Amino acid sequence: GATDDFCPPELSTRLPSRPGTKADEANMFGSFLVPDGDALVHAMTEVIERRAPRDTPERTAARERLVARYSWQAVTRGLMDLMEPLPALASAAQPVLEVAA
């Protein structure tokens, strides 16, 4: 799913899923995934019964990577870098209509 891009395995549990339909959620727009209910219950039980310490080196490193990559500053810089070469944005900064004095 969409979270695969930013949820490292050290901080998440991946669940099997299937493409959702209007029968699953009538108010949803676009594509979405429906998690397997049994797998979700199993994963939640595992988290409760075998809760991993939060301060393991792997989890700490994964958290630091997330903060560095997805801070407001990093995300904004990435978006600005993507938009910089777009000529339409440069011309949009110019006044469209000049008012005569």
Q: Residue ranges per domain, the chain?
A: 2-76
Mean pLDDT of all residues in 55-69 = 85
Token pair recorded at residue 48: 């409760």
Q: How far from the centroid of its chain's Cα atoms is residue 37's Cα?
A: 22
**At 33, phi and psi to the nearest 5?**
-110, 145
- Of 47, 64, 46, whose CA–CA distance to 55 is shortest? 64
Please write the tens of the pLDDT for every residue from 64-86. 888 888 888 888 988 888 888 77
Residue 41 predicted with pLDDT over 90: yes
